[in-house]
């Protein structure tokens, strides 16, 4: 899952509890589908502090920047073309709008912003491909439905005394782009609702049960700080060191607890690295949680990179959850929507003509390409 996906999924999952159908109607799922572990180090925006502040930023002084002020690409005109998909243009405003929606307008770690923008661009490319497929399947909304949705929005804004033009400006929309957004939301909602059978949801629960049923895992970790997170050589040196420590533990030269006390920079080293039980979400940053929940009892992870440094994680106990598939129906609906979107995009992309203009960050086979770098 990408950084953008992780952020949007957490917001959508919170909204989905008990009101997933409303989330679908509002188009939340269109963002939660497939919006990504993270080559930029698993950096997350707005993550809560971990147990005891173990994974908290250093005094809250981590460098951050606003979406509108970081990077040369922020100075581009909103209508500058960043990519074309089968001849259709994607502009700066489209990507910046999606990033803003995903982050909720919160500050973003400066060095993570180019990847966030690149992932948003990929999401929009896939959205265009999927929309074309839905058009081929004759699943696009009628013009009357689009007009009705637009009229409902205008009425809602009027009741809140918000000018329509002001709304467009705030959301980085033109009226044309808003119409395209409504077409996408309605078409995707129609398709997804047809896929949300009880059988599909139960199958999704079977695939993801550990991640949605309230399971908690008890973990210990070893944290190696990275002196300069922006320096690739410094980061690689920390990863290599973590790998050597892991090899020492696996070879039986010392226990994980002994290694934590000897090597870890985190305060949990005094407890052999023990962090206690953690849930799948909302306690640790996504890269850490995802790695922890992939482990069996007694298994040690490969080095895991987050904004806090490089970690080795040991799973010491698993406390199974008790929720049934029906208890987490809303979350499962989001998962199924994301999986359907991913499958369609994977099928359609090899046949598509996609060109990047090179003025904006993009992904080349997963590798981040940033202008002027």
The C-alpha atoms of residue 133 and residue 292 are separated, in whole angstroms, by: 37
Domains of the chain, residue spans: 3-202+326-369, 216-319
pLDDT of 5: 52
CATH of domain 216-319: 3.10.50.40
Q: Which two tokens stand for residue 91?
A: 């502009």
- CA 281 to each of CA 10, 203, 287, 333, 359: distance values in angstroms, whole numbers, following the listed order: 8, 21, 11, 17, 35
Q: What is the pTM of this model?
A: 0.74
pLDDT of 2: 55
Query: Are the C-beta atoms of 330 and 19 separated by less than 8 Å?
Result: yes
pLDDT of 233: 87
Q: Which two tokens stand for residue 145?
A: 């439905």
The C-alpha atoms of residue 36 and residue 331 are separated, in whole angstroms, by: 17
What is the helix, strand, coil percentage profile of the chain, to 5? 55, 15, 35
pLDDT of 167: 96
- CA 112 to each of CA 24, 47, 54, 63, 301: distance values in angstroms, whole numbers, following the listed order: 29, 14, 21, 11, 24
pLDDT of 31: 36
The residue written with tokens 């265009």 in the block is: 128
Give the 3-state secondary structure of 174-228. CHHHHHHHHHHHHHHHHHHHHHCCHHHHHHHHHHHHHHHCCCEEEEEEEEECCCC
Bridge partner list, 108: 65
Q: Which two tokens stand for residue 43?
A: 């950096």
Q: Could you count the other beta carbons within 10 Å of the beta carbon of residue 152?
A: 11
The C-alpha atoms of residue 144 and residue 107 are separated, in whole angstroms, by: 39
Nearest to 54 by CA among 306, 230, 244, 239: 306
H or E stretch including 101? helix 92-103
pLDDT of 307: 84
Radius of gyration of the chain (CA): 22
pLDDT of 298: 97
The C-alpha atoms of residue 28 and residue 119 are separated, in whole angstroms, by: 17
pLDDT of 69: 39
Query: Are the C-beta atoms of 42 and 23 separated by less than 8 Å?
Result: no
Nearest to 186 by CA among 132, 128, 140: 140
Query: Are the C-beta atoms of 61 and 330 separated by less than 8 Å?
Result: no
pLDDT of 373: 62
pLDDT in tens, 185-226: 999 999 999 999 999 999 999 999 999 999 999 999 999 999
CA 279 to chain CA mean position, Å: 18
SS3 assignment, position 293: helix
pLDDT of 35: 31
The C-alpha atoms of residue 102 and residue 52 are separated, in whole angstroms, by: 28
Task: Show the low-confidence residues of the chain (pLDDT under 70).
Answer: 1-74, 105, 109, 229, 373
Nearest to 272 by CA among 232, 229, 221, 226: 221
pLDDT of 231: 77
Nearest to 65 by CA among 6, 127, 117: 117
């Amino acid at each position: 899952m990408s950084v953008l996906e992780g952020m949007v999924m957490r917001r959508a999952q919170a909204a989905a509890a008990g009101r997933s159908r409303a989330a679908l109607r509002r188009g939340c799922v269109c963002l939660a589908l497939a919006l990504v572990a993270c080559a930029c180090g698993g950096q997350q925006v707005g993550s809560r502090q971990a147990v005891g502040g173990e994974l908290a930023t250093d005094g809250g002084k981590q460098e951050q920047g606003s979406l509108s002020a970081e990077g040369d690409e922020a100075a581009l005109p909103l209508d500058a073309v960043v990519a074309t998909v089968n001849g259709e243009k994607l502009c700066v405003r489209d990507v910046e709008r999606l990033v803003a929606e995903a982050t909720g307008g919160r500050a973003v770690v400066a060095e993570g912003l180019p990847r966030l923008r690149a992932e948003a661009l990929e999401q929009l490319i896939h959205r265009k491909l999927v929309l074309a497929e839905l058009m081929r399947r004759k699943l696009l909304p009628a013009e009357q439905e689009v007009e009705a949705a637009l009229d409902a929005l205008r009425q809602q804004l009027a009741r809140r005394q918000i000018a329509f033009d002001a709304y467009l400006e705030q959301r980085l929309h033109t009226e044309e782009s808003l119409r395209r957004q409504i077409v996408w939301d309605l078409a995707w909602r129609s398709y997804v609702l047809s896929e949300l059978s009880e059988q599909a949801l139960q199958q999704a629960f079977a695939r993801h049960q550990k991640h949605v049923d309230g399971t908690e895992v008890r973990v210990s970790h070893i944290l190696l700080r990275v002196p300069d997170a922006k320096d690739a050589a410094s980061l690689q040196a920390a990863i290599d060191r973590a790998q050597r420590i892991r090899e020492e533990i696996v070879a039986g030269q010392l226990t994980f607890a002994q290694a934590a006390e000897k090597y870890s920079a985190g305060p949990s080293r005094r407890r052999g690295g023990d962090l206690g039980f953690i849930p799948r979400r909302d306690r640790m940053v996504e890269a850490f949680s995802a790695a922890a929940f992939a482990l069996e009892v007694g298994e040690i992870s490969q080095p895991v990179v987050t904004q806090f440094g490089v970690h080795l994680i040991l799973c010491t106990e698993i406390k199974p959850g008790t929720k049934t598939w029906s208890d987490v129906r809303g979350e499962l609906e989001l998962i199924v929507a994301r999986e359907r979107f991913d499958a369609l995009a994977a099928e359609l992309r090899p046949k598509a003509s996609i060109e990047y203009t090179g003025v904006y960050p993009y992904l080349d086979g997963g590798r981040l390409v940033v202008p002027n770098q």
